[in-house]
């Protein structure tokens, strides 16, 4: 199951457009919720809206609850040097998609400890995506 929630803070709607209130800052935060089962696999989506960056200039950092390092993409290349042992040999990425701005990953052999929040931070564009994973028993 896949849910997409949009949370908009400090904004008001007018004629189907977003307008900033007074001088308050606004933010658009997307949170995706995915449900999976123990032992299964799940795709954690993450894509950049900025396509004008060189792949060699892009870094992507996937983090789980409490900052555990799930996977890094450094200068357009996969890096598992600092990956938390909990995720070793369980993460699959799609390098052929990086040029299109797609940095999603597949997490295999799901465990109950995988439940929680995953964050995907893309630099230098400072984009952040959040995926909430719910694990259900078999």
- SS3 category, 112: helix
| pLDDT tens-place string over residues 27-58 | 345 679 999 999 999 999 999 988 777 899 99
Instruction: Please give the Cα distance from 74 to 84 (Å, whole number).
Output: 16
Q: What pLDDT, on the 0 to 100 scale, is given for residue 30?
A: 63
Going by pLDDT thresholds of 50, 70 and 90, the confidence category of residue 71 is: very high
| pLDDT tens-place string over residues 82-124 | 999 999 999 999 999 999 999 999 999 999 999 999 999 999 9
3-class SS string, 48-96: CCCCCCCHHHCEEEEEEHHHEEEEEEECCEEECCCCCHHHCCCEEECHH
What Å distances lie between residue 105 and 44, 47, 123, 128, CA to CA?
A: 5, 10, 17, 15
Going by pLDDT thresholds of 50, 70 and 90, the confidence category of residue 59 is: very high
Instruction: Please give the Cα distance from 133 to 9 (Å, whole number).
Output: 23
> Is the model's pTM score more than 0.75?
yes
% helix, strand, coil for the chain, step of 5: 15, 50, 35
């Amino acid at each position: 199951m896949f849910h997409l929630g949009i949370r908009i803070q400090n904004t008001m709607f007018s004629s189907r457009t977003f307008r900033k209130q007074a001088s308050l800052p606004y933010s658009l935060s997307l949170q995706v919720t995915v449900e999976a089962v123990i032992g299964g696999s799940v795709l954690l989506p993450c894509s950049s809206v900025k396509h004008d960056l060189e792949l060699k200039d892009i870094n992507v950092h996937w983090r789980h609850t409490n900052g555990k390092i799930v996977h890094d993409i450094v200068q357009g290349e996969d890096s598992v040097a600092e990956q938390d042992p909990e995720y070793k040999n369980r993460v699959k990425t799609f390098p052929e998609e990086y040029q299109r701005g797609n940095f999603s990953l597949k997490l295999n052999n799901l465990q109950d400890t995988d439940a929680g929040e995953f964050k995907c931070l893309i630099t230098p564009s400072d984009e952040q995506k959040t995926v909430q994973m719910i694990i259900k028993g078999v």
